[in-house]
Amino acid sequence: MRDWIPLALIPAVALLALPLVPSTPTWVTLTIAGLAMGMMIFIMASGLTLVFGLMDVMNFAHGAFISVGAYAGASVLLAMKAPMQSQSLVDNLGAIIPGVLAAMALAAALGWFFERVVVRPVYGDHLKQILVTMGGLIVCEQLIHVVWGPDLIALPRPATLTGSILLGDAAIERYRMLAVVVGLAVFFAMWLVLNRTRIGLLIRAGVENTEMVESLGYRVRRLFVGVFVAGSALAGLGGIMWAMYQESLTAGMGMQVLVVIFIVIIIGGLGSVGGCFVGALLVGLIANYIGYVAPKLALGSNILLMVLILLWRPRGLYPVGK
């Protein structure tokens, strides 16, 4: 991300919103909420943008990985009532860590299965990819109904992550602060892998020109399977975090959030992790500011943001040279 202008949009949007919000504490609360939402969207979207960048695969089934991850994680969390309700952070973590690992593991396994069975036969054909991955998403939703039932499941947050802390007069939800920290950790971990390892170098090169990477002697297909599975695991992580954020989960949650995820990866530039990060934060911030200032415009704010950014940079904030 050597181009700093898109990155500067994040503080610019935040500062522009300052005079529109009646008080500074409210602005701080909305900003943290927007950043937290953006981080969770980034976690869910980052894998999908790499999958598209590497192999031109339009994977609508990504929504299924989010839902299945959320349900797997929630199953563990709901089964561990005592540590979840304990006032000790250590006890809470004793439930959260297995829950998150379950979410990531099941989503990764589902991703591996999808790549082998659903996606592999339709490489290079976008129309078929949309049809079969959308079909896969619907099948997964129905399977969730079969296994976990069709009703909304309430998911209380762990005791130490409920409530807010006060920063001056601004109330900041603890869970949102955690989401920001986890999102930043995932971003920096991805940044390190992509920029400091040979695998990362291969992924970055593969996103630009798959054919040339193969011509240099590397099997991109193997790399792609790894990225697909890792992206699915991140979708699972994002899914359980989103479920705890909403304090509930439904089979359709993946499909609902998928629209925002596609907006984010288009805004960021297809295949760009940095663009995905900036795009997710912009979407999160604007959704929160507009939701507060002009709730009736909230639904269209993401679309408007996408239109404005594509008018400015038609290939997204950080276009990847394909």
Closest approach, Cβ 202 to other proteins, in A, equals: 7
Cβ distance to other proteins smaller for residue 20 or 199: 199
Residue 3 beta carbon to other proteins: minimum distance, rounded to whole angstroms? 11
Sort 217 into a burial class: Cβ within 10 Å, 0-12 / 13-18 / 19+.
exposed
Residue with tokens 């996103």: 207
User: Scanning residues 220 to 259, which ones bind other proteins (CB under 8 A)?
Assistant: 220
Contact positions with other proteins (CB under 8 A) in 264-293: none
From first CA to last CA, the distance across the chain in angstroms is 17
Q: How many CB atoms lie within 10 A of CB 307?
A: 11
| Number of shown-chain residues binding other proteins (CB under 8 A) | 20
What's the closest the beta carbon of residue 220 comes to other proteins, in angstroms?
8
CB 250 within 8 Å of CB 63: no
Instruction: Say if residues 54 and 210 touch (Cβ distance below 8 Å).
Output: yes
With respect to other proteins, which residue has the nearer C-beta, 57 or 220? 220
**Distance of closest approach, residue 97 Cβ to other proteins, in angstroms:** 36
> 120: which 2 tokens?
């592999």
Q: In sequence order, which residues have a C-beta less than 8 Å from that of residue 168 and are 6 or more positions away?
A: 25, 28
Q: How far is the CB of 113 from other proteins (least distance, A)?
A: 24
Distance CA 313, CA 203 (A): 24
- Residue 167 vs 199, nearer CB to other proteins: 199
Total number of residues shown for the chain: 322
User: Toward other proteins, which CB reaches closer, 116 or 219?
Assistant: 219
Residue 153 belongs to what H/E stretch? strand 153-154
CB 68 within 8 A of CB 144: yes
Nearer to other proteins, 86 or 209 (CB): 209
In this complex, which beta carbon is closest to other proteins, that of residue 49 or of residue 288? 49
Site string for other proteins, 185-224 (x = CB under 8 A): -------------x--xx-xx--xx-xxxxxxxxxx----
**Shortest gap between Cβ of 253 and other proteins (angstroms)?**
34
* 5: Cα within 13 Å, side-chain hemisphere: 6
Residue with Cβ nearer other proteins (81 or 126): 126
Bridge partners, 210 (sequence order): none
Q: How far is the CB of 214 from other proteins (least distance, A)?
A: 4
Residues that bind other proteins (CB under 8 A): 2, 198, 201-202, 204-205, 208-209, 211-220, 320-321
